[in-house]
Amino acid sequence: MSKLLLSEARVKALRPRRSPYVIRDAKLRGFGVRILPSGTKRFFLHTQHRGARVWKLVGDAGALRVDEARARAASLITAIRSDADAPALPEAMRFEAIAETVFGRHARVWKPRTLYVNRNYLQRQLLPRFAGMAVADITRADVLGWFASLRATPVAADRSLPVLSVILKEAERMGYRPEGSNPCRGIRRYRRRGRERFLSDAEIGRLAAVLSTHESACPRQVAVLRLLLLTGCRKSEVLTLRWIDYREGHLFLRDGKTGPRTVWLSRAARNVLDRIERTGAWVFPSQRTRGPAGTSWLRWFWQRVRAEAQLRDVRLHDLRHAHASFALRQGESVLAVGRLLGHASPQTTLKYTHLADSAAREAAETVGAVLGG
């Protein structure tokens, strides 16, 4: 690690590299400047107190002169060693400011719904605990304490932890935290009972029979539910289908949850689509706007259908699970089911493994009964 007597000219002359690097000051121990691949330069203080390492961001080299940054670092050292209050923190280094910057950048990556949900977790779970803190000062103890405080709401805890992790990881990339310091890494999430509901063959048969009785009166709603069962697509993927997405016997989803993907359609699924009248760009157009249909017109119908089919505990999303579970019971591999559902990670598909094991046991019993006489 290089050491120099930092001066205005020397800091200005430092050039970015492919990876971040630091230059330590030869005058004040622990003081230095970090140069990011973007060209941004930030002064920092790295010292020890009572056997623990302390890393503090001093300020941006574009806003502070070297002598000002060195003096601020010296004040920080004095405050740390005397357990006194640190100098006032610039707003740009606070957790809430970094979080807002990260959300602004991820607005181009996250889906609108994901952005909306993550912002709710930021407002309700993260800001009440971390607002006002320097993003560089958030420790693993802070994160563990916060996570434990949400024990009564494990879903909120489990889903807001990745949001916090993204913010702190981006803070590292922007030079506001040392590299590899993300305190969220390795924290085990709460164990929760799975909400997945897998329909049996008999239940699927009852649902199909009820749908047939409503086909003449509610053809659009019936078509949506059949497509959910026959394709394993998400509700949003079916409701936002355009006719241009349906060609060559496949669905070409341009903007699914996990990105663009191809959905292979069975003959039954193609028959459902071919029977729908084409009145515009959308397969299921809204009756009020020029866009796709919403969910309210489908929600009331689903509540009625599932009551008649005696499936009151089944959610619309469980039709996706029904598609996967039926495929596994017919002998398809977990890998193939992952492709059918458009899972980005094989880990997501592993929750269906117990269904594959069940099918294997049934096959073993069948073979044993035949060969064993």
Which pair of tokens denotes residue 274? Answer: 């071919």
Mean pLDDT of 288-296: 83
- Assigned CATH for 95-173: 1.10.150
Mean pLDDT to the nearest integer, 269-290: 89
Give the DSSP H or E segment for 119: helix 112-121
Q: Which of these CATH numbers, 3.30.160.390, 3.30.365.10, 1.20.120.1200, 3.40.720.10, describes 2-88?
A: 3.30.160.390
Q: Of the ranges 57-61, 78-82, 138-142, which one carries the lowest mean pLDDT score? A: 78-82
As given in the structure block, the two tokens for residue 175 are 């030079």
Using 50, 70 and 90 to split pLDDT, how confident is the model at 246?
very high
Looking at residue 102, its pLDDT comes to 93
Q: Looking at residue 356, what is its pLDDT? A: 47
Whether residue 329 is predicted with pLDDT greater than 70 in this model: the reply is no
- Percent of the chain scored above 70 by pLDDT? 81
Angle at 182 between CA 93 and CA 90, to 5 degrees: 5
Q: Which two tokens stand for residue 203?
A: 């239940």
pTM for the model stands at: 0.60
15: helix, strand or coil: coil
User: Once rounded to an integer, what is the mean pLDDT over residues 22-36?
Assistant: 91
- The DSSP secondary-structure symbol of 126 reads I
pLDDT, residue 92, reads 65
How do the domains of the chain map onto residue ranges? 2-88, 95-173, 201-369
Whether the CB-CB separation of 189 and 158 falls below 8 Å is answered with: yes
Q: What pLDDT was estimated at residue 360? A: 45
User: Sorting pLDDT into bands at 50, 70 and 90, what band is 14?
Assistant: very high
Residue-wise pLDDT tens digits, 36-77: 998 989 999 888 877 777 788 888 898 889 999 999 899 888
**Of residues 167 and 342, more confidently modeled:** 167
Residue 345: pLDDT over 80: no
Regarding predicted confidence, which is higher, 280 or 348? 280
pLDDT at 137 over 80: yes
Q: Are 256 and 275 in contact (CB under 8 A)?
A: no
Cα–Cα distance for residue pair 45/255, rounded to 1 Å:
44
Query: For 223-234, what is each residue's pLDDT tens digit?
Result: 999 998 888 888
Average pLDDT in the 351-358 region?
A: 52
Residue 373 has pLDDT above 80, yes or no: no
DSSP string, 86-102: PPPPPGGGBHHHHHHHH
DSSP single-letter state for residue 125: I
Strand residues in the chain grouped as ranges (E): 2-4, 21-25, 31-35, 41-49, 52-60, 246-247, 250-256, 259-264
Portion of the chain with pLDDT greater than 90, in percent: 36
Res 319 pLDDT > 70: yes
- CA 54 – CA 77 distance, rounded (Å): 10
Q: Residue 195 has what pLDDT?
A: 60
Q: What does the pLDDT look like over 175-233, one tens digit per residue?
A: 888 888 899 998 988 876 556 677 777 888 899 999 999 999 999 999 999 998 888 88
Looking at the structure, give the CATH architecture of the domain made up of residues 201-369.
Orthogonal Bundle (1.10)
3-state secondary structure of 273: helix
Per-residue model confidence as pLDDT tens digits over 101-127: 999 988 888 888 889 999 999 999 999
Determine the length of the chain.
373
Q: How far is Cα 177 from Cα 59, in angstroms, rounded to an integer?
A: 12
Whether 95-173 and 201-369 share one fold: the answer is no
